[in-house]
Amino acid sequence: MRLSTDQLILWQHGFFKLNATIVYTWGLMFVLAMGSKLITRRLAPGVSISRWQCVLEIIVINMKKQIEEVGLRRPERYLGFVGTLFLFIAMANLFTIFPGYEPPTGSLSTTTALAISVFVAVPFYGIRERGWGGYLKSYLEPTVIMLPFNIMGEFSRTLALAVRLFGNMMSGTMILGILFIVTPFIFPTVMNALGLLTGMVQAYIFSILALVYIAAATGTGSSKTDNTTKDKIWTT
């Protein structure tokens, strides 16, 4: 039994291998890029819009709303990065309804790549928002003693992001494979439906966690002024 899609090699020439992960990722990139290109080619500003534009607007508006709810004030800045993460993972997990497809997120290489991009993006946004001094000072909060733990946390949460997504997706495929051996008819379908739900939840969680990390680095996430104003609203 294969543990990940990396071990399924579709084409090989010398030392140059094309495994299933790479091929499916390329396919997803193609579908996402061509889909958005085709939809945004004819955007209408009026009341009557095409149904695909409506779908895209719903997705983008809801993403912006979620980003604002986490506490980031200018969602347009983060929409490109976090939105792409969400769309890629969600599509990768949704496509499991097609037979023969295996999610590229079920391979540790893909999830590590995604987690590393979050690892790079967090200091990038942090420095852009607060400057070098402000960002580096956030490592010394609340006291200087916490510095090694803050640095360790930076690495461990990247590892956790990668392994969480990989484990969830791999376990879905693995359980399906085992069920096909034990009860080959109806029950795997039920588990597949459950896998679709887990896939969406994992995509949501991955992007929300990336957002929370970015919000913590930019210092806008849960600042004290925000909390006090919220408390005032609740008490009144």
Partner 1 sequence: MDDITIIAAASIISAGITMGIGAMGPGLGQGRAVAGALSALAQQPDASSTITRTLFVGLAMIESMAIYCFVISMILIFANPFWNHVITQAAGK
Q: Tell me which residues touch partner 1 (CB under 8 A).
A: 1, 3, 66, 69, 160, 163-164, 166-168, 170-171, 174, 201-202, 204-205, 208-209, 212
| Adjacent-strand bridge partners of 18 | 11
- The residue among 135 and 206 lying less far from partner 1, judged by its C-beta, is 206
Here the tokens at position 76 are 């347009």
The distance of closest approach from Cβ of residue 127 to partner 1 in the complex, given in angstroms and rounded to an integer, is: 25
The distance of closest approach from Cβ of residue 171 to partner 1 in the complex, given in angstroms and rounded to an integer, is: 6
- The residue among 145 and 181 lying less far from partner 1, judged by its C-beta, is 181
18 SS3 class: strand
Here the tokens at position 207 are 């992007």
29 SS3 class: helix
The distance of closest approach from Cβ of residue 178 to partner 1 in the complex, given in angstroms and rounded to an integer, is: 11
Q: What angle do CA 225, 123, 109 make, to 5 degrees?
A: 130
- The residue among 168 and 218 lying less far from partner 1, judged by its C-beta, is 168
The distance of closest approach from Cβ of residue 166 to partner 1 in the complex, given in angstroms and rounded to an integer, is: 7
Q: Which of 18, 89, 122, 162 is nearest to 130 (CA)?
A: 122
- The residue among 25 and 207 lying less far from partner 1, judged by its C-beta, is 207
Could you give phi then psi for residue 216, rounded to 5 degrees?
A: -70, -35
72 SS3 class: coil
- The residue among 91 and 170 lying less far from partner 1, judged by its C-beta, is 170
- The residue among 53 and 109 lying less far from partner 1, judged by its C-beta, is 109
State the DSSP code for 45.
Answer: -
The distance of closest approach from Cβ of residue 214 to partner 1 in the complex, given in angstroms and rounded to an integer, is: 14
The distance of closest approach from Cβ of residue 141 to partner 1 in the complex, given in angstroms and rounded to an integer, is: 21
Q: What number of other Cβ atoms are within 10 A of residue 159's Cβ?
A: 12
In contact, 124 and 116? CB cutoff 8 Å: no
Cα distance between residue 194 and residue 96, in whole Å: 11
